[in-house]
Amino acid sequence: MAIATVNPATGEVLQTFSPMSGEMVQSLLDRSNKAFQQYRWTDLAQRSVWLNNAAQILEDEKAHWGKLITLEMGKTLKSAIAEVEKSALVCRYYAENAGKFLADTSIATDAPSSFLRYQPLGVILAVMPWNFPFWQVFRFAAPTVMVGNVGLLKHASNVPQCALAIQEIMERAGFPTGVFQTLLVEGSQVLPLLDDPRIKGATLTGSEPAGAALAAAAGKNLKKTVLELGGSDPFIVLPSADLEAAVEGAVTARLISNGQSCIAAKRFILVGSIAAPFLEKFVAKFQALQMGDPLLDTTDVGPLATPSIVQELDTLVQKCLNMGAKALVGGKLANNQPGNFYPPTILTDLPPGCPAYQEEFFGPVALVFQVPDLEAAIDLANSTKFGLGASAWTQDAGEQKHLINELEAGSVFINSIVKSDPRLPFGGIKSSGYGRELSHQGLLEFANIKTVWVG
């Protein structure tokens, strides 16, 4: 089966690729392994130069790469360009900070000298999603190559040109051949790769079933994994919140990548008297959104990545409506419109037992709940299997402390939307995965933290 670029806005097939043969995959694996034997000993300063070169290429050519992202997965051009800029940022962050992060750490013991040394593991497999086709990869690639590992990318099958472009950027930046390679293979070919002794670890960003399958295959082979999976992030608004800021944040947080983001706010939990004024403003802003061609500056919401995502989302919405929920905005597929468009939608009066309580809605659909107090908000926020991020809006210091302590999530943002930042660890708990990306902690996930004792 061909791997294809299909424009989500039109349904047009732009380019097709034949999946790599088994022999080709083995050849690339061998090249990665041989590259590691040399690359692991390269000077850290030289790696920094190459990574800064990659950042410069991204910055200089951001409009070009942004358009490629938009054509492959449908996010607006302005948000795609911002994604390329953020990819450059993470490259510069690790180029500038990896030296101090990887320096030997002295620890006082009864030995004359004892310390930790951080060394690479080898070939790391990355299975990456389509919703942030550059950012997800670079936030893996930047720390991976700075530690001295080499990367092998299995990208989502609907963004093959982005996958090849990232390898091109890394090679143009100066990284030796084999240090970062792309595998154009179907999903069924991924798990057997974990049996290969040349692969030392794996990371996946994607769905819960995909993460569980990868973890099982890696666990059978005693290989380290980092997983960043789904989310149904709560967005809690309390009566003391800055209403205007909360509404602006809510719209932005729900529509990241056309609503196709694990850390997009999905469940809006309104406490007490804030509910009515919040909803009035929230509905008005959703009604004003412009849906259409993602290449136009005037477009707020572009198409979803594939037809199947549209159908899955609409199925969840219709189940909620059939059980008694109300659509304040949207809720119906547009008739006879080309492309994978789903209208911005707000659902309220959601009955217990409907999909809104447990399922992840991957698209521009906001699920609104009203609760009487802070404790009820926290209980509802924690009631899902997911635990990626949480956003809460309140000016009350006591409420802030309570939310920070009680919300079950990998990150809690107070009076801000949830976002990833190279300086901060990123990841989830429960069914949202384990391990951390970004920051000092993310850099060391695929490092041998070697204890050294010198007597």
Q: For strands 113-120 and 447-454, give the pairing.
A: antiparallel
Are the C-beta atoms of residues 251 and 260 closer than 8 Å to each other?
no
How far, in Å, are 131, 204, 206, 215, 281 from residue 211 at the CA level?
16, 6, 7, 6, 38
* Residue 432: per-residue pLDDT: 98
Looking only at Cα atoms, what is the longest distance across the chain? 77
The pLDDT of residue 336:
76
Cα separation, 281 vs 216, whole angstroms? 46
Measured at the CA of 426, the angle between CA 49 and CA 179, to 5 degrees, comes to: 35
Specify the residue for token string 């107070």: 414
For 187-209, what is each residue's pLDDT tens digit? 999 999 999 999 999 999 999 99
Measured distance CA(410)–CA(262) in Å, rounded? 12
What are the strands of the beta sheet with 113-120, ordered from one edge? 105-106, 113-120, 447-454
Q: Where are the beta strands (DSSP E) in 223-382?
A: 224-228, 233-237, 265-271, 326-329, 345-348, 365-371
Task: Enumerate the β-bridge partners of residue 183.
Answer: none
Distances (CA, A) of 313 to 130, 206, 292, 342, 423: 17, 16, 18, 8, 33
- Helix (H) / strand (E) element for 124: namely strand 123-127
Tell me the per-residue pLDDT of 93-152, one tens digit each, with 9 for 90 and over: 999 999 999 999 999 999 999 999 999 999 999 999 999 999 999 999 999 999 999 999
Which domains does the chain carry? 3-229+432-454 (3.40.605.10), 233-420 (3.40.309.10)
Q: Are 41 and 26 in contact (CB under 8 A)?
A: no
Runs of H (alpha helix) within 74-159: 77-101, 135-147
Residues annotated as catalytic are 228, 262
Count of positions (residues) in the chain: 455
Give dist(CA 110, CA 105) in Å, integer.
16
- Give me the residues of the chain with pLDDT under 70, please: 1
Cα 244 to the center of its chain, rounded Å: 27
Q: In what order do the strands lie in the sheet with 123-127?
A: 180-182, 150-154, 123-127, 199-205, 224-228, 433-434
Asked if residue 414 lies in contact with residue 79, where contact means CB atoms within 8 angstroms, the answer is no
- Cβ within 8 Å of residue 451, ≥6 positions away: 114, 116
Indicate the helix (H) or strand (E) that contains 123.
strand 123-127
Residue type present at position 160: P
Q: How far apart are CA 317 and CA 326, in angstroms?
A: 10
R_g over Cα of the chain? 23
CA distance 361 to 367: 9
